[in-house]
Amino acid sequence: MNTIDAQGVNDRADAYFLKTKAIVENNADSRVTYAVFLRTDCVMAVGKAVEFLKRAYETADGGDDIPLVVDCRYPEGAVVPSGRPLMYVTGSMAKLSPIETTLLQRIGFACVSAHNALSMCQAMPKSAFLAMDARHCPGDDLHLLSEYGASVGSSTARITGAKGFVGTSTAIAAPLFGGETGLGTMPHALIGYAKALSAFKGDGDVNATLEALKLYVAKFPDERTYTVLVDFDGREVSDAIACCEWFFREGPGRDGRKIGFRLDTHGGRYLEGLDWKESVSTLLKWTHCDTPDEVVKVAVRGFDIDDLDGLSKDEIRDKYLFGTGVTAANVVRFRKGLDDANFKQASIVASSGFDVMKCRIFGNLQIPVDVVGTGSFLPRQISKTYATADIVRYEFKDADGKWSTHDMVKVGREHLLLNAE
């Protein structure tokens, strides 16, 4: 949609903006200034929106010959408080009116995604992040806007010492992170395929996860790092150790290649070898706490009440710490299993619901995750992404060709006025 022409913009514009354009052209065009803002804290990530605005303005029909001026009030990547103008846009009212709809579509998701990505990276500064939001997006527009935001938030996080996002799962978004292609190795479907293929060949009972790794290495022998998904058969630790034994004794590990394991245990079961009691024991040892409640206190250190998203102490314990799925106890126990088998060099990739809250909890507990695969920088509440633009200045040319300026905005938005800055 970044290449849509004037007719394309008009087709996507709210009808009242098109009628406004017609009325303005029927009377006198006005040089207007819009204040653009969000009603939530965000990170400045408007670069793509500004690129679109400039192209759309150049091709817009009608209006007087009034140049476009975009005044960004914060540098890209800066944190912007709720309600503060991100930028002021000045130009022909006849040209800008139809563009407003499509411009605002390109601001909110990117800016909120950037804020989420920044928070996640800062919460787990020692972990690298891989963007995996594509499957959650209805199309390229949202995918690219959100990943642009993630790339901007990540860049800011790296300034503070975090590793940040190192890539994405799709080729179309890879340039946003300095890459040429998507990153990733195997989904559950490949392991299922390996298991079915072995059954078809009559190979008998095989380790499907190991067979999938062997198939992958055979097809992609030159990769430097192989990441194996290990929860297909519910034997995360056992299958990971079996993969390591083959990888380092017979496979490419002999040539210095690296191996990692992606934990994606679903919320209906525990990691192999864990239950509630063992999960509690695991985190008590890891955190040097005496009780589960003490672990919770460490996990939510620095949280405001609003940050808890309405979750109770018990819900936090179940969802993030001791319960089923990819919890803190899950990762710590898996790491211990690899270390005890003398495979400390194997890395851990964790996925499944790593939003801002989960990243902050894992960061507070210093859970040993090398890479986080996540699409949860996507805004959870669409209403948080609503960008708004209000005209704060109208200017008309008088008979002498001089501009007559009228600063005004609807009641309640006076703080957006240029002279209120």
Lowest-confidence region among 71-75, 313-317, 331-335: 313-317
Task: Using CB atoms within 10 Å of the CB of residue 289, give its burial: 0 to 12 exposed, 13 to 18 middle, 19+ buried.
Answer: middle
What's the pLDDT tens digit per position in 339-394? 999 999 999 999 989 999 999 999 999 999 999 999 999 998 899 999 999 999 99
Is the distance from CB of 190 to CB of 212 less than 8 angstroms? yes
Question: How far apart are alpha carbons 362 and 327 in whole angstroms?
Answer: 9
Q: Which residues fall within 8 angstroms of residue 383, CB to CB, at 6 or more apart?
A: none
Q: Which two tokens stand for residue 214?
A: 């062997």
pLDDT at 243 over 80: yes
| Rg of the chain taking only CA atoms, in angstroms | 26
Between 78 and 10, the higher pLDDT residue: 78
**Strands (DSSP E) along 58-121, which ranges?**
69-72, 79-80, 85-92
User: Amino acid identity of 372?
Assistant: V
Question: How far apart are alpha carbons 143 and 354 in whole angstroms?
Answer: 17
Between 62 and 43, the higher pLDDT residue: 43
What does the domain layout of the chain look like in residue ranges? Answer: 6-106+386-420, 115-374
3-state DSSP assignment of residue 117: helix
Is the distance from CB of 44 to CB of 148 less than 8 angstroms? no
- Write down the pLDDT at residue 5: 84
Q: Which two tokens stand for residue 288?
A: 């040097």
List beta partners, residue 125.
none
Tell me what the mean pLDDT of segment 190-197 comes to. 96
User: Which superfamily does 6-106+386-420 belong to?
Assistant: nicotinate phosphoribosyltransferase (3.20.140.10)
Q: pLDDT grade, residue 1 (50/70/90)?
A: very low
> Are the folds of 6-106+386-420 and 115-374 the same?
no
User: Amino acid identity of 55?
Assistant: R
Q: pLDDT grade, residue 237 (50/70/90)?
A: very high
- Write down the pLDDT at residue 2: 56
User: Amino acid identity of 251?
Assistant: G
Q: What is the mean pLDDT of the chain?
A: 95
Q: pLDDT grade, residue 6 (50/70/90)?
A: confident
User: Which superfamily does 115-374 belong to?
Assistant: Aldolase class I (3.20.20.70)
Is the distance from CB of 321 to CB of 299 less than 8 angstroms? yes
What's the pLDDT tens digit per position in 268-288? 999 999 999 999 999 999 999
